[in-house]
Structure 1
Amino acid sequence: MESKISYFIILLCSLLISITEGIDIPEQFQKSNHTNNWAVLVDTSRFWFNYRHVANVLSIYRSVKRLGIPDSQIILMISDDMACNPRNPRPATIFNNAHELISVYGDDVEVDYRGYEVSVENFVRLLTGRVHPDTPRSKRLLTDEGSNILIYLTGHGGDGFLKFQDSEEVTSQELADALEQMWQKRRYNEIFFIIDTCQASSMYEKFYSPNILATASSLVGEDSLSHHVDSAIGVYIIDRYTYYVLEFLENVQPNSKKTMSEFLAVCPKSACLSTVGVRKDLFKRDPSKVPITDFFGSVRPVIVTKKPIEILETPKRKKKIIAENKTKAAEKRGYLPQFPVHLVKTS
């Protein structure tokens, strides 16, 4: 029995060493105190001509999943289901590039709030944790004081407001107060706030809670523009800022050493045609020393124990005899690139 325990401890230690080597963090990076990662991804627009906003949010959703945040820790809110829209010439698909390389709707998209569930009330209740008692766990933001949260918003906005469903608005002050409630209730460690709308920077100007890093696709008085049209679909299919964000994220891996300061510079005015806004006075750490995986990755803590663990022996399964002509090589699975950037002409 002792030999089995010793073997188990050695195996666990070797596993820990291999994991540590796999996430080798450079010394110049500032250590984060977070213990888990969450993402809140929201598209607030309706109607077919806003197809690009759904493509925006689903593209970010696919990226954070690829980098390790599980669906159980992603809240996805989509106002309009473009995949099932009667105008969609390719039902059950949503593309973010004119070459239609891959459908970002996919087979494993878990939409938590859809249609008229995407409202200002539900969004604020989600952030602050003031949801109805009957709300299922999948629709709750179950964060704590060790949570790093990525909040991404896309839709139509103006100076100091973001429209929901073209029928109501959330103001910058309401959003700032909701984040303050989160801080007071110890619902986050750090927040990275991204918004892709017209006059987007106005939405973070009222923030006053600590540990928030924010970026926006445009300054007050500027429009946030779309990138290109898919003539087969007949509408713009992605916004400029999100397009260049995805171009950057496609080169990020779970063990990447890229920093948040590199992310904040992904879309210069020559590419975006609008000025990307950044607010970092509330953020304690230096973005140039914060790995991008602190918000776009996932923390997987390993607990080492010296106490004996009883492992029950499981019955061995009988091997199935398969004819040689029916054997198949194991299929390798992975994430395809979201779009062929080099093929899309930038206008």
Structure 2
Amino acid sequence: MKKGGLKDQNIVVMMYDDIAYNPENPHKGDYNGNDVNKNNFLAVLLGKKSALTGAGSGPNDHIFVYYSDHGSPGYVCMPSGGNLHANDLSQALKNKNAAGAYKNLVVYVEACESGSMFEGQLLPSNIGVYAMTASNATENSWATYCDTPEYNTCLGDLFSVAWMEDADARRPGDPETLGQLYDIVAKRT
């Protein structure tokens, strides 16, 4: 995102980082994960002042939301504070649209059964939101880069790695539509 020109003050990162103090983690961090919960996520999304931090948005802004964690039909998991249910996310997106708080909003969700977050009437076609998910409503999302000898874990997920590697391979000013990106990501996942 920064390579594409976004400034730090326009990026909000919510990351539980529960591995920060694990003795097996070679890259220590200092994040407190309790603030990563559905209430704060929705507050940041809606630009509420009660949010710990967040970038306000207006009617000409383009917003990108990337979510990566576990999911199940009808919800995605949050590290603390309960799950984020599809109808709650849907209502938040509708409210943000009604407030005129963006021009376009793009949501990528990396989670098993993530397609269930937007199926049916959950995502109206007239609110300027484009959602792309790692899986449909009934399938798993899959990990990749699992054969790195120095780590005893997988380092990515197919969907996320596909769109990130595509973004990294693009030169600044090299346009790509969301439809083109969808085709590329779908082939790789």
Same fold (TM over 0.5): yes
Rounded Cα–Cα distance in structure 1 between residues aligned with 2:32 and 2:106: 23
User: For residue 149 of structure 1, what is the amino acid of its counterpart?
Assistant: I
Match of 2:180 in 1: 262
Matches within 5 A, 1:6-155: 64-88=1-25, 90-92=26-28, 114-132=32-50, 139-155=53-69
The answer for unaligned runs of 5 or more in structure 1 is 1-63, 94-110, 273-347
- Segments of 4+ in structure 1 off by > 4 A? none
| CA positional deviation for 1:227 | 0.7
Aligned equivalents of 2:177, 2:97: Cα separation in 1 = 25
- What corresponds to 1:219 in structure 2? 136
CA contact (8 A) 1:67 1:253 kept: no
Are the aligned partners of 1:191 and 1:213 in contact in 2 as well (CA < 8 Å)?
yes
Match of 2:71 in 1: 157
Larger Rg: 1
Question: Counterpart of 1:182?
Answer: 96
Do the aligned partners of 1:85 and 1:91 also contact (CA within 8 Å) in 2? no
Deviation at 1:226, TM superposition (A): 0.2
TM-score (norm 2): 0.89
**CA shift digits 1:127-179 (9 cap, x unpaired):** 122332xx66xx12311111100111110001110011166101110001011
SS in 2 for 1:173: helix
Give the C-alpha shift of residue 189 in structure 1: 0.9
Q: What residue ranges of structure 2 are gaps of 5+ in the alignment? A: none
**SS at 2:185's partner residue?**
coil
| Identity of matched residues, % | 22
AA partner of residue 250 (structure 1): D
Determine if the alignment matches structure 1 residue 250 to structure 2 residue 168.
yes
Larger relative contact order (Cα-Cα within 8 Å, sequence gap ≥ 6): 1
123 and 224 in structure 1: CA distance in 2 versus 1, 3 angstrom threshold: same
DSSP 3-state at the match of 2:183? coil
Contact 2:74 2:86 in 1 (8 A): yes
Shift of 1:220: 1.4
